[in-house]
A and B are shown apart, each in its own frame.
Chain A
C-alpha cells in the first residue's frame, strides 16, 4: 500500500550547514509515527521541511502521490498537512478563539474538528475563549496550538515538541488527547524528547542522529539498548 506521506532522500541546509542527510521515511494513513533524537539531530528541520517552511527539491517529499518538496507552506496547509510549531507560537494579537479560527483560514474541510469539537477536546479553552492568548499558561497555549492545527481537519498533523517546557502532569493530559485525535483517522508525526510518552502513543518510531536516520521500527520490537545506541551514538 502506498504511503500517505513519504520523504525520499530529504536533505536540508541552513546556509552552509547541512542539517539533514538524505532521510527516507514513510507515514501510512492513520498511523502515528514518533521521531526521537537528541537536540540538534534534525527532527524539527524534518518537520519544517514537510510543512514547507523549508523548501528543497520537489521530489524529496511526496504526499498523496504528489511531489511537494518545493511547495510553499501556505499551499501545503491547504492540501491538508498542518504543523503545531515548536514553542507554540500563538498569535499575541488574537484571542484564544481567534487563534483557533485562524487555523482554518486557508482551508475549511469537513470533519469532526469544528470549534465545538476542539472545545470538547480541551474544555479549558472554551472557558478562556475570549482571553488574550498571551494570558494562557504553557499547557493551555499548547492545547490552543494543537487546536489551531486541528481545526482545518488536516489529514496529517505534525507536532513539534509539544511537551517542551511543560510539567509532567500537563504533558500527560496532552498525550491523553492524542488517541482521540488518532481515532478520527488523522495521521500524526510527532517529534518528542520525552521518549516514554512518544513510545506509548506511536505505531512506529524513527530515531534521528546528527541529521541521519539511525533507527526505525515498532516500539514493541525495539529494545532499550537499541534505542539508547541510536539516540546517542557510540
Chain B
C-alpha cells in the first residue's frame, strides 16, 4: 500500500517539473497560437547555458540560473523578433517546419559543442535531503522545491496575465490581432516580449531538469512531448490547468513505473491518449478558440 502512496507523491512532485516544462509552451500558444517544436530542445539548451555560466563564473546552479535569466530573455526576444515572427500567419506549415528545423539545429549544435556526454547540475546537499512526513514516507526536498517553483511560476504568470497592462495586451493580441494594433500594440514587439518571458520560464525549468537527472543534447524531444501532453490534458488557455495536467502525467508515469519500470513513459502517453479520447478539450479549458 505504502508503495502506491509513495508513487502518488512522487508523481505529484514530478508533475511540478512537467508543469514547468509546459508553462512556457502554454504561454506561447495562448498568446500567439504558435506551437514551438523546438521547445524541449530549448529547455536542454538552457540547461547547458546554466552549466556553462556556472563553470565560467564559478557559481552554484541557482545563482547561475539567476545570472542566465536576463540573457535568455534577450535570446527569446531576438528569436521571435528576427525569425519566428515571420512565420506567423494563417498558414499552418511555416511555424511548424521552421521550429522543427530549429529543433534539429539546436540538438546537433549542442552535440557539436558539448558532445553526447551526460551532464548534471550539482546543487549540493539539497539533492539528497528529504523530509520525513510519516513513519514510512519521506519527501525529497529538491522535488518539493521544484513543485513550489512551478506553483510560484504559475502564480506569477497569472498575475502578469490578469493584473497588468502587459497581460491585458497579451490577451487582446491573442483575441484579435488587427484590432490590437488600433490600441497601439505593436505585435512583433509584444510577441517578442512573450517569447522572452517564455524563455525565462524555460530556463527555470532547465535548472530543475538538470538538477533532477542527467541530461544530454538528445533528450529535448522527450521533454517536448511531456510538456505538450501536460498542456493538452490540462486544457488550453489555463495555467492552473497546465499544472494539473503536469501532475496527471507525472502521476501516470510513476504509477506505471511502479507496475513495471519499463512502462513509465508509456503510461504517461497512454494517460494522455485516454484523456484525449474522453475529454478532447482537456480538463480545464479556458481558451476561446
Contacts and interface: CB of A to CB of B under 8 A. Distances in A.
Direct contact of A and B (CB under 8 A): yes
Interface string A66-110: 000000111101100011010001011110001001110111000
A88 to B, nearest CB: 10
Interface in B158-185: 165, 168-169, 171-172, 174-176, 178-185
A93 B171 contact: yes
A189 interface: no
A29 interface: no
A94 B182 contact: no
Contacts of A51: 182
A85 B181 contact: no
Contact of B168 (A83, A94, A149): A94
Interface string B180-192: 1111111100000
Contacts of A93: 171-172, 174-175, 288
B246 to A, nearest CB: 23
A106 B185 contact: yes
Interface residues of A, number: 27
B172 A85 contact: no
B181 A102 contact: no
Contacts of B186: 72, 74-75
Contacts of A92: 175, 288
Given A85-B179, A93-B174, A94-B175, A106 B184 contact: yes
B168 A101 contact: yes
A131 interface: no
A98 B165 CA distance: 9
B168 A73 contact: no
Nearest to A78: B184
25 contacts: A53-B182, A73-B181, A73-B182, A74-B184, A77-B181, A77-B183, A77-B184, A85-B182, A89-B176, A89-B179, A91-B175, A91-B176, A91-B180, A92-B175, A93-B174, A94-B168, A94-B172, A98-B171, A102-B165, A102-B168, A102-B169, A105-B165, A105-B185, A107-B184, A149-B182
Interface of A: 51-53, 72-75, 77-78, 82-83, 85, 89, 91-94, 98, 101-103, 105-107, 148-149, 152
